[in-house]
Every structure is written in C-alpha cells, then in structure tokens.
Amino acid sequence: MNGSFVPFIESGPNSQVAAFLASQPDWRQGLGPGWKGTKFLGKGGYDIVGLWEYKGDPMRAPAVTKVVVKVAEDTDQDIDKNIFRGKTAYDEGNILAKLSKVPTNHVIKQYGGNRVGDKFLDMDYVVRIYLEFCPGGDLDQFIAREGEAPNHLLDEADLWAIFNCLAIGALAMHRGTELPTEVRRQGRKVNTEICHYDIKPDNILLGFRDEHHARLPICKYADFGEALEEETCGMPERMAHPFRHIPIQHPRKGACSNTFQIGAVMNCLLVGNFINFNADDTSPPTICTDNHWLRRGYNHSIGLNTDDMRQRYSDNLRTLIMECMMREATFRPKSTDLAIRTAAALQTADFVAKNRPILPPSVAAIPMVGLLQPEPPLEWDIDTSEYDIAQRDYVIVPDIPSPTPDTGGFLGIKLTEYLPTWSPFAASHGSSTSTTPPRSTPATSVSSQGPGVGGAFVVLGKATPDSLEDRGRDWKT
C-alpha cells in the first residue's frame, strides 16, 4: 500500500498514541457517543491501528461493542503525468466493502465504506476504515522466530482446521460463496476473482470460537491492502515473461495464486519455522512421487518430506500442501476441491484426535459465541460506492453524493479501470522483462506473485524484480 509514511508514534500519556486514541471527536464520521479508544494495536509503513470499545450507557449498547479502526493517508496521483502511487488505503477499503457483502465468516468484516476528509498528525488526507475485532491474534504466534527451535503447538486436527478455514475463505473470494456446490453469486462476473496477493501468517487472524470451531477459533483473512480483482482467463497482454530458470507453461494469476500462498502458510505451520520461499534460488524444486498429482511436475514446498514430518503428520496433509505449491498453476487444486478435501480431512482428524497439545493461554481463553455475527450500528453503514480516483479530493464530506456504483466486476468493483495505460503496478503484474537479481539480495518483503501467476512465484519474505513497487511487507513486522 502506498501513501505517506506514518510518523513515529511514541508512548506515554502525552504521546501521539494518546492523541490517536482520543481523536474520535474530531472525526467527520465518528463511531458515535460512548465509544473510547482503548488500545493502540500497532502501525505499518502507511497506517496506524487501534481498538475502540463502547463504554457508554449499557442500555444503549450496540451489538458490536469492539471495533478496530485503521487510519492511513491516501495521496493523490498526477494522472496527466501518469505517475501511479500503487495500492492505497482507499483501494483496500473499496475491496473490503465489497467483500463484506459476501456471505462468509472467513474474511474480516469491514463496517461501512471509506471514511475520508480528515487530517491527523502530519497526514493531510486520512482514510479511515472500521474493521471487525478478532481477539486471538494471528497465525504468526505458532511459528518460531529465526534461530529458535521449531514450534509444534498444533496437532494435525488443528492444522486441518486452519487449512479448511483458509480454503473456505479463498473459495468465497473466488466465487462469492462458501459453499463448494453453490453457483456463483448474482451480481458477480463469472470471469473475475479476488486475489489477496499477501496471504501470510500475520495476515490470518483468529476470531472467536463457535460450534464449528470449538477448539481453535475461526481463522479470517485480513489486510487486503494488496488485493486486486483478476480476470480468470489471465489476460495475455498482462502476462509477464517467467524467470528464466522457472519455465511456466500456463502462467496465470487469481484463485490459483491464493492457493499457492495458502500452501506456503501451511508449510510454515507444519515445519514450525518461518521459511523464505526465494524466487531467485536456482536450486531445483522437488518432484514428489507420493501421489499421481504430485508426479506431474515440480512443487515448491520445503521440508515436508523429511522422516520427522512423515512421522508427525499424515501423508494426506503433507501431499495436499505440496499440491497447493505446484509450480504449474493448472496442477494446483481448484478452490472448490480444496474446500471439499480439507473439510473431509478435518472431520476425520477431529474424530481420531487424542491427547491434543494445550494451546497458548491467549488462544485457549477465547470465548464461544453464536454463529450469527452481531450487526454494527446502522450509522456506520455509510455509502460504499467506489470513488473516482481523479475526483477523490471532492468527495470528502458525507452529504456529497458519490458516483453511481459500477455494475461490472465482483459485486460492482472494477479496479482495473483505474490503472493508467502503463504503470509500475501494471508492470509488476504482467509486463516486466527484468532479469533475476543476485542471490544475495536481502530478504525484506513479500512478492505479490506466485508460480504461474504473472511469470514469477510467490515469495514469502523477499522482493522480486517483477515487483517494481513494494507491494509486500516483511512477515515479522
């Protein structure tokens, strides 16, 4: 996500943190009376995040009493000079507003659309979004830091539960429904799908428990700052030349990109350590002969075929992860098949699980809730129309009507229309012909692409030459 860098936020009663948590009275579109900023959750390169809780009259308490507020500065672009600033908080808000209308519990909910027009600290143009609160942290807590002994806090049933959550959420992004047998939702073009582009352990949040997630809380996709609607047919004019040492026969991006990154996350969880899946590593990938799917070609999994892994986890779990990480996109499981296979395996694993390890206290203490998600206050349901980038500075007051929503694309969203004819963004998604960098390049960020998706492959922890603008973040930030 692009914008101005968020200034360093210090601690203390008179700090910028305190100013942030006390800033609601100055918002054009606030949460309402009784809401207080209670906890600073962190900051990224371009955003700051905090928790707000309802502390007002209990008799007037809304169903949602905790909400995460994410604030970022959204800078304009000089369209005449064709200078593209990359993905912004504006774009993330538009994507999440549309995804929040999809009937899924496996994608973090956004309440309403972009709230714009404010200033904060030295941010001249603030975009603010309200997000669902998830109490369990993220999947990064189950992965050891570099140099530490592997974490094996999860048994196989826990891992299948996570795998199934990720598969169902990816299915919802692909088809607009969590049900593998259901046709695509109306209002949705059949040749479009949402590609997250930044699936990694710290972008998968743990929500509450429910009757379907009685031990490990439900997992939800978060941080859609890199997400984009993609054509399922993989438009040839946007396809990049593959890395010279990675000959992709059928390059494309979309749901298959999500599948690869799901496999990479699961690979890290099984091994128990962070893994840098390095795009410019010329060492050969593996060909596994455990099943006929894997015998068809290379997969980019790491460490799943050791004796320890074979003793610790079933062949079914290991090989399905390997299938997700096949080099050729067409060899990976379809989103519908992945949801069905993980659900069947989870049912069996739950039945046979014994002596399951104790979860971390922060996870074990998460309460059970009902299956129906509480509804936010109606006042939060502001206009979610997608604003024209060229007119964004004029759409900063709630009572100014927004443009009529576009009816094309995923539930009305067509982000590709806002791309310039040529831009670094377009280049990083299909027109780059750059060469492979030295292997000594520092591993600092996450590439937006995967094997068979635009010619490169998903790099969890390293930027690639295809990614001309930094569209990823360090896993450990």
pLDDT 10s per residue in the chain (477 long)? 555 555 555 666 568 888 899 999 888 888 999 999 999 998 876 788 999 999 999 999 999 999 999 988 766 533 333 344 456 677 888 888 888 888 999 999 999 887 777 777 777 778 889 999 999 999 999 999 878 888 887 899 999 999 999 999 999 999 888 998 876 654 455 556 788 989 999 999 999 999 999 899 999 999 988 877 766 544 332 333 333 334 445 456 678 889 999 999 999 999 999 888 765 655 556 656 555 556 566 788 888 988 999 999 999 999 999 999 888 888 899 999 999 999 999 999 988 776 778 788 888 899 998 878 788 877 787 654 544 444 444 333 333 333 333 333 333 333 333 333 322 222 223 333 333 333 333 332 333 334 333 322 333 332 222 322 223 333 332
**Residue 258 parent element (H or E):** helix 255-271
Q: DSSP readout, 322-356? A: HHHTBSSGGGSPPHHHHHHHHHHHHHHHHHH--SP
pLDDT at residue 76, as a whole number:
52
pLDDT at residue 271, as a whole number:
93
pLDDT at residue 237, as a whole number:
29
- CA angle 415-416-419, nearest 5°? 105
DSSP, collapsed to helix, strand or coil, labels residue 43 as strand
pLDDT at residue 95, as a whole number:
87
- Which pLDDT tens digit goes with each residue over 271-323? 999 888 765 655 556 656 555 556 566 788 888 988 999 999 999 999 999 99
Q: DSSP readout, 7-33? A: PP---STTSHHHHHHT-GGG-SS---T
**Cα–Cα nearest to 128, from 118, 136, 139, 137:** 118
pLDDT at residue 288, as a whole number:
60
CATH number of the structural domain 139-364: 1.10.510.10
DSSP, collapsed to helix, strand or coil, labels residue 96 as helix
pLDDT at residue 56, as a whole number:
95
pLDDT at residue 425, as a whole number:
27
DSSP, collapsed to helix, strand or coil, labels residue 100 as coil
Q: What are the structural domain ranges in the chain? A: 16-133+383-418, 139-364
pLDDT at residue 312, as a whole number:
92
CA distance readout (Å), 371 to 56, 220, 403: 26, 14, 35
Superfamily assignment of 16-133+383-418 in CATH? Phosphorylase Kinase; domain 1 (3.30.200.20)
User: How many angstroms separate the CA atoms of 137 and 255, rounded?
Assistant: 26
User: How many angstroms separate the CA atoms of 4 and 74, rounded?
Assistant: 8
pLDDT at residue 11, as a whole number:
60
CA distance readout (Å), 333 to 3, 181, 220, 337, 429: 36, 15, 21, 6, 22
pLDDT at residue 327, as a whole number:
82
pLDDT at residue 87, as a whole number:
63
pLDDT at residue 189, as a whole number:
52
Is the Cα torsion angle 300, 305, 310, 314 positive or negative in sign?
positive
User: How many angstroms separate the CA atoms of 181 and 157, rounded?
Assistant: 24
- CA angle 167-419-93, nearest 5°? 50
